[in-house]
Amino acid sequence: MSHHPQVDAVAALADSQRAETLDLLCSYLRIPAISCLEAHRPDVERLAVKVRDEIADMGFDNARLLELPGAHPCVAAEWLHAGSDKPTVLIYGHLDLQPVEPENWRTDPHTPTVVGDRLYARGAADDMGGWVSHIGALRAWFALAGGPPCNLKLIIEGEEEIGSPNLERFMDAHPSAFASDVMVLTDCENPSTEIPGLTVSLRGLLEVKLTCSALSADVHSGLWGGMVPDVSMALTQLITRLSDADGRMAVGRVEVDEARKAAGQNIVFADAVIREGAHLIDGVDPLPVRDRSAAEWMWWQPSVTVVATTLPTLERKKNALRREASAILSVRLAPEQTADEMLAALREVLLVQPPAGVDVALAADGWSGEGWLYTPKGPAFEAADRAYEKAWGRPLVQVGVGGSIPFVALFGRRFGDLPLILNGVMDPVTTAHGPNESLHLGIFRKAIAANVYLLDELAALGSTLISG
Protein backbone atom coordinates (compact mmCIF):
# COMPACT_ATOMS: atom_id res chain seq x y z
CA MET A 1 0.00 0.00 0.00
CA SER A 2 1.65 3.17 -1.03
CA HIS A 3 0.34 6.62 -0.42
CA HIS A 4 0.68 9.49 -2.84
CA PRO A 5 3.87 11.37 -1.94
CA GLN A 6 2.08 14.72 -2.06
CA VAL A 7 -1.10 13.85 -0.18
CA ASP A 8 -0.30 15.97 2.85
CA ALA A 9 0.70 18.88 0.65
CA VAL A 10 -2.57 18.50 -1.28
CA ALA A 11 -4.51 18.53 1.99
CA ALA A 12 -2.62 21.63 3.10
CA LEU A 13 -3.33 23.37 -0.22
CA ALA A 14 -7.03 22.46 -0.12
CA ASP A 15 -7.20 23.82 3.41
CA SER A 16 -5.44 27.06 2.49
CA GLN A 17 -7.86 27.48 -0.43
CA ARG A 18 -10.99 26.94 1.59
CA ALA A 19 -12.05 30.60 1.33
CA GLU A 20 -12.04 30.24 -2.48
CA THR A 21 -13.94 26.95 -2.17
CA LEU A 22 -16.49 28.69 0.03
CA ASP A 23 -16.80 31.48 -2.57
CA LEU A 24 -17.40 28.85 -5.24
CA LEU A 25 -20.10 27.27 -3.08
CA CYS A 26 -21.73 30.68 -2.54
CA SER A 27 -21.74 31.37 -6.28
CA TYR A 28 -23.75 28.17 -6.78
CA LEU A 29 -26.07 28.92 -3.87
CA ARG A 30 -27.12 32.22 -5.46
CA ILE A 31 -28.88 30.31 -8.23
CA PRO A 32 -32.34 29.20 -7.05
CA ALA A 33 -32.25 25.76 -8.68
CA ILE A 34 -35.53 24.54 -7.18
CA SER A 35 -36.37 21.41 -9.11
CA CYS A 36 -39.99 21.02 -8.04
CA LEU A 37 -41.05 24.40 -9.41
CA GLU A 38 -41.45 24.69 -13.16
CA ALA A 39 -40.64 28.42 -12.96
CA HIS A 40 -37.14 27.50 -11.76
CA ARG A 41 -36.42 24.97 -14.50
CA PRO A 42 -34.13 27.51 -16.26
CA ASP A 43 -32.22 28.00 -12.98
CA VAL A 44 -31.53 24.27 -12.65
CA GLU A 45 -30.32 24.28 -16.27
CA ARG A 46 -28.21 27.43 -15.73
CA LEU A 47 -26.56 25.98 -12.66
CA ALA A 48 -25.87 22.66 -14.39
CA VAL A 49 -24.19 24.48 -17.30
CA LYS A 50 -22.11 26.59 -14.92
CA VAL A 51 -20.95 23.54 -12.97
CA ARG A 52 -20.17 21.62 -16.16
CA ASP A 53 -18.05 24.49 -17.52
CA GLU A 54 -16.21 25.04 -14.25
CA ILE A 55 -15.30 21.41 -13.66
CA ALA A 56 -14.08 21.22 -17.28
CA ASP A 57 -11.78 24.18 -16.56
CA MET A 58 -10.58 22.48 -13.41
CA GLY A 59 -9.13 19.54 -15.33
CA PHE A 60 -11.92 16.99 -15.69
CA ASP A 61 -12.40 15.25 -19.02
CA ASN A 62 -15.64 14.89 -20.85
CA ALA A 63 -17.58 17.29 -18.63
CA ARG A 64 -21.08 17.11 -20.03
CA LEU A 65 -24.78 17.31 -19.34
CA LEU A 66 -26.65 14.03 -19.47
CA GLU A 67 -30.09 14.80 -20.80
CA LEU A 68 -33.38 12.96 -21.21
CA PRO A 69 -36.71 14.31 -22.42
CA GLY A 70 -38.57 15.97 -19.55
CA ALA A 71 -35.74 15.46 -17.07
CA HIS A 72 -33.56 18.07 -15.42
CA PRO A 73 -29.99 17.63 -16.65
CA CYS A 74 -27.41 15.64 -14.75
CA VAL A 75 -23.79 16.85 -14.81
CA ALA A 76 -21.21 14.14 -15.52
CA ALA A 77 -17.43 14.21 -15.85
CA GLU A 78 -14.49 11.92 -15.42
CA TRP A 79 -10.75 11.72 -15.05
CA LEU A 80 -9.34 8.30 -15.84
CA HIS A 81 -5.57 8.78 -16.00
CA ALA A 82 -4.49 7.25 -12.69
CA GLY A 83 -3.73 3.93 -14.31
CA SER A 84 -5.52 0.62 -14.71
CA ASP A 85 -4.18 -0.61 -11.37
CA LYS A 86 -6.09 2.13 -9.57
CA PRO A 87 -9.77 1.90 -8.66
CA THR A 88 -12.40 4.13 -10.21
CA VAL A 89 -14.29 6.14 -7.63
CA LEU A 90 -17.68 7.60 -8.44
CA ILE A 91 -18.72 10.71 -6.53
CA TYR A 92 -22.41 11.54 -6.46
CA GLY A 93 -24.09 14.75 -5.33
CA HIS A 94 -27.09 16.83 -6.37
CA LEU A 95 -27.34 20.47 -7.35
CA ASP A 96 -31.09 20.98 -7.12
CA LEU A 97 -32.79 22.57 -4.14
CA GLN A 98 -35.88 22.24 -2.03
CA PRO A 99 -38.32 25.16 -2.24
CA VAL A 100 -38.06 27.90 0.38
CA GLU A 101 -40.60 29.35 2.75
CA PRO A 102 -39.56 33.01 2.77
CA GLU A 103 -41.63 33.96 5.79
CA ASN A 104 -39.55 31.75 8.06
CA TRP A 105 -36.05 32.68 6.90
CA ARG A 106 -33.96 35.09 8.93
CA THR A 107 -31.77 35.77 5.89
CA ASP A 108 -32.53 35.58 2.19
CA PRO A 109 -32.40 31.86 1.30
CA HIS A 110 -30.59 32.53 -1.98
CA THR A 111 -28.11 35.02 -0.55
CA PRO A 112 -25.56 32.89 1.30
CA THR A 113 -24.81 34.53 4.64
CA VAL A 114 -22.25 33.57 7.26
CA VAL A 115 -23.47 33.99 10.83
CA GLY A 116 -21.06 32.72 13.47
CA ASP A 117 -19.70 29.36 12.38
CA ARG A 118 -22.48 28.57 9.92
CA LEU A 119 -23.31 29.46 6.33
CA TYR A 120 -27.02 30.02 5.82
CA ALA A 121 -28.65 29.38 2.41
CA ARG A 122 -31.02 26.89 0.83
CA GLY A 123 -28.81 24.04 -0.32
CA ALA A 124 -25.80 25.08 1.80
CA ALA A 125 -25.58 21.56 3.24
CA ASP A 126 -28.19 19.67 1.19
CA ASP A 127 -26.41 19.12 -1.01
CA MET A 128 -24.35 21.87 -2.59
CA GLY A 129 -21.87 21.98 0.30
CA GLY A 130 -21.56 18.19 0.03
CA TRP A 131 -20.30 17.89 -3.51
CA VAL A 132 -18.46 21.23 -3.44
CA SER A 133 -16.39 19.78 -0.57
CA HIS A 134 -15.23 17.20 -3.14
CA ILE A 135 -14.56 19.96 -5.67
CA GLY A 136 -12.41 21.73 -3.07
CA ALA A 137 -10.38 18.55 -2.58
CA LEU A 138 -10.13 17.81 -6.30
CA ARG A 139 -9.03 21.33 -7.20
CA ALA A 140 -6.05 20.86 -4.93
CA TRP A 141 -5.30 17.42 -6.40
CA PHE A 142 -5.36 18.87 -9.93
CA ALA A 143 -3.29 21.92 -8.97
CA LEU A 144 -0.54 20.11 -7.13
CA ALA A 145 -0.44 16.56 -8.47
CA GLY A 146 -1.94 16.94 -11.94
CA GLY A 147 -4.99 14.97 -10.92
CA PRO A 148 -6.40 12.73 -8.22
CA PRO A 149 -4.52 9.55 -7.20
CA CYS A 150 -7.35 7.28 -8.43
CA ASN A 151 -9.65 7.28 -11.42
CA LEU A 152 -12.70 9.39 -10.88
CA LYS A 153 -16.23 9.90 -12.13
CA LEU A 154 -18.51 12.68 -11.05
CA ILE A 155 -22.31 12.63 -11.19
CA ILE A 156 -24.22 15.69 -10.03
CA GLU A 157 -27.92 15.10 -10.32
CA GLY A 158 -30.51 17.83 -10.97
CA GLU A 159 -33.63 16.21 -9.53
CA GLU A 160 -32.82 14.53 -6.24
CA GLU A 161 -35.22 16.78 -4.38
CA ILE A 162 -38.12 15.53 -6.48
CA GLY A 163 -37.22 11.91 -5.79
CA SER A 164 -34.73 11.20 -8.61
CA PRO A 165 -37.51 10.16 -10.99
CA ASN A 166 -35.15 9.73 -13.95
CA LEU A 167 -31.93 8.58 -12.30
CA GLU A 168 -32.44 4.96 -13.25
CA ARG A 169 -33.11 6.00 -16.85
CA PHE A 170 -29.84 7.95 -16.75
CA MET A 171 -28.11 4.81 -15.44
CA ASP A 172 -29.61 2.76 -18.28
CA ALA A 173 -28.86 5.34 -20.95
CA HIS A 174 -25.30 6.13 -19.77
CA PRO A 175 -23.93 3.03 -18.01
CA SER A 176 -20.33 4.09 -18.47
CA ALA A 177 -20.96 7.34 -16.59
CA PHE A 178 -21.75 5.25 -13.52
CA ALA A 179 -19.47 2.21 -13.90
CA SER A 180 -16.98 2.28 -11.02
CA ASP A 181 -15.40 0.25 -8.22
CA VAL A 182 -16.38 2.38 -5.23
CA MET A 183 -19.16 4.93 -4.86
CA VAL A 184 -19.04 7.92 -2.58
CA LEU A 185 -22.59 9.21 -2.26
CA THR A 186 -22.45 12.57 -0.55
CA ASP A 187 -25.86 13.70 0.62
CA CYS A 188 -26.12 12.50 4.21
CA GLU A 189 -25.75 13.65 7.76
CA ASN A 190 -23.23 13.56 10.60
CA PRO A 191 -24.42 12.87 14.17
CA SER A 192 -22.71 16.07 15.32
CA THR A 193 -20.22 18.67 14.17
CA GLU A 194 -17.47 16.57 15.78
CA ILE A 195 -18.56 13.05 14.78
CA PRO A 196 -18.54 12.05 11.11
CA GLY A 197 -21.37 9.80 9.97
CA LEU A 198 -21.47 6.87 7.57
CA THR A 199 -25.05 6.25 6.60
CA VAL A 200 -25.96 2.57 6.47
CA SER A 201 -29.73 2.52 6.69
CA LEU A 202 -32.77 4.40 5.50
CA ARG A 203 -36.37 4.05 6.45
CA GLY A 204 -38.86 3.29 3.70
CA LEU A 205 -42.01 5.28 3.05
CA LEU A 206 -45.61 4.26 2.55
CA GLU A 207 -48.47 6.72 2.20
CA VAL A 208 -51.96 5.45 2.87
CA LYS A 209 -55.37 7.04 2.59
CA LEU A 210 -57.78 6.34 5.42
CA THR A 211 -61.43 7.24 4.77
CA CYS A 212 -64.47 7.21 7.04
CA SER A 213 -67.89 7.48 5.37
CA ALA A 214 -71.30 7.62 7.01
CA LEU A 215 -73.73 9.81 5.07
CA SER A 216 -74.53 10.42 1.42
CA ALA A 217 -74.64 14.19 2.03
CA ASP A 218 -73.64 16.70 4.73
CA VAL A 219 -76.55 17.25 7.13
CA HIS A 220 -77.50 19.84 9.77
CA SER A 221 -75.61 19.08 12.98
CA GLY A 222 -78.34 20.65 15.12
CA LEU A 223 -81.02 18.41 13.65
CA TRP A 224 -79.08 15.16 13.50
CA GLY A 225 -76.20 15.50 15.97
CA GLY A 226 -76.51 12.83 18.64
CA MET A 227 -78.22 10.33 16.37
CA VAL A 228 -75.80 9.79 13.45
CA PRO A 229 -71.99 9.41 13.36
CA ASP A 230 -69.55 12.30 12.99
CA VAL A 231 -66.97 11.03 10.49
CA SER A 232 -64.40 13.58 11.65
CA MET A 233 -64.53 12.16 15.14
CA ALA A 234 -64.40 8.60 13.83
CA LEU A 235 -61.39 9.38 11.66
CA THR A 236 -59.44 10.92 14.52
CA GLN A 237 -60.36 8.00 16.80
CA LEU A 238 -59.01 5.60 14.22
CA ILE A 239 -55.80 7.57 13.81
CA THR A 240 -55.15 7.57 17.55
CA ARG A 241 -55.30 3.78 17.49
CA LEU A 242 -51.91 3.90 15.79
CA SER A 243 -50.25 5.68 18.68
CA ASP A 244 -49.03 4.47 22.07
CA ALA A 245 -49.43 6.48 25.28
CA ASP A 246 -46.18 8.35 24.52
CA GLY A 247 -47.54 9.52 21.17
CA ARG A 248 -45.52 7.21 19.01
CA MET A 249 -46.44 4.77 16.25
CA ALA A 250 -47.31 1.50 17.99
CA VAL A 251 -48.12 -0.54 14.88
CA GLY A 252 -45.63 -2.56 12.85
CA ARG A 253 -42.71 -2.31 15.25
CA VAL A 254 -39.78 -4.57 14.38
CA GLU A 255 -37.16 -6.44 16.37
CA VAL A 256 -33.80 -4.70 16.12
CA ASP A 257 -30.83 -7.00 16.61
CA GLU A 258 -28.61 -6.59 19.66
CA ALA A 259 -25.62 -5.22 17.75
CA ARG A 260 -27.65 -2.41 16.24
CA LYS A 261 -29.40 -1.75 19.54
CA ALA A 262 -26.02 -1.37 21.23
CA ALA A 263 -24.77 0.91 18.45
CA GLY A 264 -27.89 3.02 18.87
CA GLN A 265 -27.27 3.38 22.61
CA ASN A 266 -23.80 4.72 21.83
CA ILE A 267 -25.09 7.51 19.63
CA VAL A 268 -26.05 10.31 21.92
CA PHE A 269 -28.75 12.72 20.86
CA ALA A 270 -28.65 15.40 23.50
CA ASP A 271 -32.05 16.84 24.32
CA ALA A 272 -30.68 20.25 23.40
CA VAL A 273 -29.77 19.03 19.91
CA ILE A 274 -33.21 17.50 19.42
CA ARG A 275 -34.82 20.69 20.74
CA GLU A 276 -32.90 22.90 18.32
CA GLY A 277 -32.95 20.56 15.34
CA ALA A 278 -36.65 19.77 15.61
CA HIS A 279 -37.69 23.30 16.66
CA LEU A 280 -39.42 22.14 19.85
CA ILE A 281 -41.12 24.99 21.68
CA ASP A 282 -40.50 25.69 25.35
CA GLY A 283 -42.50 23.41 27.60
CA VAL A 284 -42.64 20.54 25.10
CA ASP A 285 -40.10 17.73 25.41
CA PRO A 286 -38.83 15.04 23.06
CA LEU A 287 -40.76 11.79 23.43
CA PRO A 288 -39.27 9.54 26.14
CA VAL A 289 -36.95 6.87 24.73
CA ARG A 290 -38.09 4.24 27.26
CA ASP A 291 -35.99 1.07 26.89
CA ARG A 292 -34.69 1.96 23.42
CA SER A 293 -32.57 4.76 21.99
CA ALA A 294 -33.37 7.89 19.99
CA ALA A 295 -31.40 6.33 17.13
CA GLU A 296 -33.64 3.28 17.17
CA TRP A 297 -36.81 5.38 17.22
CA MET A 298 -35.70 7.68 14.43
CA TRP A 299 -33.90 5.21 12.15
CA TRP A 300 -35.01 1.65 12.78
CA GLN A 301 -38.62 1.73 13.95
CA PRO A 302 -41.64 2.86 11.95
CA SER A 303 -43.37 6.18 12.61
CA VAL A 304 -46.50 7.83 11.32
CA THR A 305 -47.43 11.42 10.48
CA VAL A 306 -50.78 12.82 9.41
CA VAL A 307 -49.80 14.80 6.32
CA ALA A 308 -53.18 15.76 4.84
CA THR A 309 -56.85 15.53 5.76
CA THR A 310 -60.27 16.55 4.46
CA LEU A 311 -61.34 17.46 8.00
CA PRO A 312 -63.29 20.73 8.25
CA THR A 313 -60.86 23.66 8.34
CA LEU A 314 -61.04 26.86 10.37
CA GLU A 315 -61.84 28.76 7.18
CA ARG A 316 -64.59 26.36 6.17
CA LYS A 317 -66.52 26.11 9.39
CA LYS A 318 -70.14 25.05 8.97
CA ASN A 319 -72.70 23.54 11.31
CA ALA A 320 -72.89 20.24 9.54
CA LEU A 321 -72.09 16.60 10.06
CA ARG A 322 -69.88 15.81 7.10
CA ARG A 323 -70.55 12.89 4.83
CA GLU A 324 -66.99 11.65 4.64
CA ALA A 325 -63.54 12.35 6.08
CA SER A 326 -60.14 11.21 4.83
CA ALA A 327 -56.55 11.48 5.95
CA ILE A 328 -53.31 10.73 4.21
CA LEU A 329 -50.95 9.06 6.66
CA SER A 330 -47.26 9.08 5.86
CA VAL A 331 -45.75 5.96 7.36
CA ARG A 332 -41.98 5.66 7.70
CA LEU A 333 -41.07 1.98 7.46
CA ALA A 334 -38.32 0.22 9.36
CA PRO A 335 -35.37 -0.25 6.97
CA GLU A 336 -36.06 -3.92 6.31
CA GLN A 337 -39.86 -3.67 6.37
CA THR A 338 -41.92 -3.96 3.21
CA ALA A 339 -44.90 -1.79 2.34
CA ASP A 340 -47.08 -4.92 2.22
CA GLU A 341 -46.09 -5.92 5.76
CA MET A 342 -46.99 -2.48 7.04
CA LEU A 343 -50.24 -2.34 5.12
CA ALA A 344 -51.28 -5.67 6.63
CA ALA A 345 -50.41 -4.43 10.14
CA LEU A 346 -52.42 -1.24 9.57
CA ARG A 347 -55.42 -3.18 8.29
CA GLU A 348 -55.46 -5.32 11.42
CA VAL A 349 -55.77 -2.24 13.60
CA LEU A 350 -57.84 0.12 11.46
CA LEU A 351 -60.36 -2.13 9.76
CA VAL A 352 -61.85 -3.73 12.87
CA GLN A 353 -64.62 -2.39 15.13
CA PRO A 354 -65.20 0.86 13.26
CA PRO A 355 -65.86 3.82 15.58
CA ALA A 356 -69.59 4.70 15.58
CA GLY A 357 -70.07 1.99 12.98
CA VAL A 358 -68.81 4.14 10.10
CA ASP A 359 -67.60 2.63 6.86
CA VAL A 360 -63.78 2.54 6.83
CA ALA A 361 -61.50 2.19 3.82
CA LEU A 362 -57.72 1.99 3.73
CA ALA A 363 -55.46 1.89 0.69
CA ALA A 364 -51.93 2.77 -0.34
CA ASP A 365 -52.12 6.22 -1.89
CA GLY A 366 -49.32 8.59 -2.86
CA TRP A 367 -45.61 8.23 -2.37
CA SER A 368 -43.78 5.09 -1.47
CA GLY A 369 -40.12 4.21 -1.23
CA GLU A 370 -37.96 1.29 -0.27
CA GLY A 371 -35.91 1.28 2.89
CA TRP A 372 -32.31 0.21 2.92
CA LEU A 373 -30.12 -1.68 5.33
CA TYR A 374 -26.48 -2.05 4.41
CA THR A 375 -23.55 -3.86 5.99
CA PRO A 376 -20.33 -2.02 5.23
CA LYS A 377 -17.40 -4.33 5.02
CA GLY A 378 -14.14 -4.62 3.19
CA PRO A 379 -11.07 -2.53 2.70
CA ALA A 380 -12.83 0.54 1.28
CA PHE A 381 -14.51 1.21 4.62
CA GLU A 382 -11.29 0.71 6.55
CA ALA A 383 -9.72 3.15 4.07
CA ALA A 384 -12.52 5.62 4.73
CA ASP A 385 -11.98 5.32 8.48
CA ARG A 386 -8.28 6.09 8.05
CA ALA A 387 -9.13 9.16 5.96
CA TYR A 388 -11.60 10.41 8.56
CA GLU A 389 -9.10 9.77 11.36
CA LYS A 390 -6.73 12.15 9.59
CA ALA A 391 -9.31 14.82 8.86
CA TRP A 392 -11.75 14.58 11.79
CA GLY A 393 -9.56 12.88 14.39
CA ARG A 394 -11.95 9.93 14.57
CA PRO A 395 -13.39 7.20 12.36
CA LEU A 396 -16.85 7.23 10.83
CA VAL A 397 -19.77 6.30 13.06
CA GLN A 398 -22.47 4.21 11.42
CA VAL A 399 -25.77 6.05 11.38
CA GLY A 400 -29.20 5.70 9.89
CA VAL A 401 -31.48 8.16 8.19
CA GLY A 402 -35.09 8.39 9.21
CA GLY A 403 -36.17 9.54 5.78
CA SER A 404 -36.31 7.76 2.47
CA ILE A 405 -33.79 8.81 -0.14
CA PRO A 406 -34.84 7.29 -3.45
CA PHE A 407 -31.41 7.67 -5.04
CA VAL A 408 -29.78 5.69 -2.21
CA ALA A 409 -32.29 2.87 -2.47
CA LEU A 410 -31.68 2.89 -6.23
CA PHE A 411 -27.88 2.81 -5.93
CA GLY A 412 -28.30 0.09 -3.29
CA ARG A 413 -30.42 -2.00 -5.63
CA ARG A 414 -28.23 -1.48 -8.73
CA PHE A 415 -24.77 -1.35 -7.15
CA GLY A 416 -25.26 -2.98 -3.75
CA ASP A 417 -22.29 -5.31 -4.23
CA LEU A 418 -19.91 -2.33 -4.50
CA PRO A 419 -18.63 -0.41 -1.49
CA LEU A 420 -21.12 2.46 -1.08
CA ILE A 421 -19.76 5.19 1.15
CA LEU A 422 -22.62 7.51 2.14
CA ASN A 423 -21.26 10.63 3.76
CA GLY A 424 -22.18 14.29 3.77
CA VAL A 425 -21.89 17.67 5.42
CA MET A 426 -25.24 17.93 7.21
CA ASP A 427 -25.55 17.87 11.00
CA PRO A 428 -28.56 17.78 13.32
CA VAL A 429 -29.11 21.53 13.23
CA THR A 430 -28.74 21.93 9.46
CA THR A 431 -32.53 22.07 8.93
CA ALA A 432 -32.39 20.61 5.45
CA HIS A 433 -35.74 21.17 3.70
CA GLY A 434 -36.73 23.75 6.33
CA PRO A 435 -36.12 27.45 6.93
CA ASN A 436 -32.62 28.72 7.76
CA GLU A 437 -30.80 25.72 6.31
CA SER A 438 -27.15 25.98 7.21
CA LEU A 439 -23.75 24.40 6.77
CA HIS A 440 -21.34 24.20 9.69
CA LEU A 441 -18.07 25.68 8.43
CA GLY A 442 -15.97 23.40 10.63
CA ILE A 443 -17.64 20.37 9.03
CA PHE A 444 -17.03 21.84 5.57
CA ARG A 445 -13.34 22.26 6.35
CA LYS A 446 -13.02 18.71 7.68
CA ALA A 447 -15.04 17.32 4.76
CA ILE A 448 -12.63 18.85 2.25
CA ALA A 449 -9.66 17.31 4.07
CA ALA A 450 -11.44 13.95 4.44
CA ASN A 451 -12.11 13.92 0.71
CA VAL A 452 -8.44 14.60 -0.07
CA TYR A 453 -7.39 11.68 2.14
CA LEU A 454 -10.23 9.39 1.08
CA LEU A 455 -9.13 9.43 -2.55
CA ASP A 456 -5.55 8.70 -1.49
CA GLU A 457 -6.58 5.86 0.82
CA LEU A 458 -8.79 4.29 -1.85
CA ALA A 459 -6.05 4.71 -4.47
CA ALA A 460 -3.55 3.04 -2.12
CA LEU A 461 -5.72 -0.09 -2.09
CA GLY A 462 -5.00 -0.34 -5.80
CA SER A 463 -6.33 -3.29 -7.72
CA THR A 464 -7.80 -5.00 -4.64
CA LEU A 465 -10.79 -2.71 -5.10
CA ILE A 466 -11.18 -3.33 -8.79
CA SER A 467 -14.17 -5.53 -9.48
CA GLY A 468 -14.33 -7.87 -12.45
First to last CA, the chain: 21
Note whether 127 binds Zn ion by CB under 5 A. Answer: yes
Note whether 187 binds Zn ion by CB under 5 A. Answer: yes
Tell me the pairing of strands 320-321 and 219-220: antiparallel
Site for Zn ion in 60-119 (CB under 5 A): none
Q: Which of residues 128 and 384 has its CB atom nearest to Zn ion in the complex?
A: 128
DSSP-assigned beta bridge partners for residue 206: 331, 368
| In the complex, minimum distance from the CB of residue 453 to Zn ion, in angstroms, rounded to a whole number | 24
Does residue 127 have a cis bond before it (omega within 30 degrees)? yes
Note whether 159 binds Zn ion by CB under 5 A. Answer: no
| In the complex, minimum distance from the CB of residue 151 to Zn ion, in angstroms, rounded to a whole number | 25
- CA proximity to 122, closest of 134, 133, 135, 113: 113
Q: Which part of the chain contacts Zn ion (CB under 5 A), choosing from 111-119, 122-130, 307-315, 453-461?
A: 122-130
Note whether 324 binds Zn ion by CB under 5 A. Answer: no
What lies within 8 Å, CB to CB, of 279 at 6+ separation is 434
Q: Which part of the chain contacts Zn ion (CB under 5 A), choosing from 6-14, 180-188, 292-300, 309-317?
A: 180-188
DSSP 307-322: EEE-SPPGGG--SEE-
| In the complex, minimum distance from the CB of residue 150 to Zn ion, in angstroms, rounded to a whole number | 25
Task: Please tell me the count of residues contacting Zn ion according to CB under 5 A.
Answer: 3
Q: Which of residues 187 and 207 has its CB atom nearest to Zn ion in the complex?
A: 187
| In the complex, minimum distance from the CB of residue 109 to Zn ion, in angstroms, rounded to a whole number | 15
d(CA 76, CA 178): 9
Note whether 157 binds Zn ion by CB under 5 A. Answer: no
| In the complex, minimum distance from the CB of residue 215 to Zn ion, in angstroms, rounded to a whole number | 45
| In the complex, minimum distance from the CB of residue 287 to Zn ion, in angstroms, rounded to a whole number | 26
Q: Which part of the chain contacts Zn ion (CB under 5 A), choosing from 67-75, 186-194, 208-216, 447-455?
A: 186-194
From residue 208 to residue 247, what is the string marking binding to Zn ion with x (rule CB under 5 A)?
A: ----------------------------------------
d(CA 186, CA 161): 14
Distances (CA, A) of 446 to 133, 269, 390: 9, 21, 9
Number of neighbouring beta carbons within 10 Å of residue 433:
15
| In the complex, minimum distance from the CB of residue 251 to Zn ion, in angstroms, rounded to a whole number | 29
d(CA 325, CA 233): 9
- On the 0-12 / 13-18 / 19+ scale of CB atoms within 10 A, 240 is exposed
Q: Which of residues 437 and 456 has its CB atom nearest to Zn ion in the complex?
A: 437
Selected from 43, 126, 157, 324, the binder of Zn ion by CB under 5 A is 126
- CA proximity to 154, closest of 51, 71, 85: 51
Q: Which of residues 212 and 408 has its CB atom nearest to Zn ion in the complex?
A: 408
Q: Which part of the chain contacts Zn ion (CB under 5 A), choosing from 127-135, 192-200, 387-395, 440-448?
A: 127-135
d(CA 230, CA 325): 9
| In the complex, minimum distance from the CB of residue 94 to Zn ion, in angstroms, rounded to a whole number | 6
CA 440 to chain centre: 17
Residues contributing to the site for Zn ion (CB under 5 A):
126-127, 187
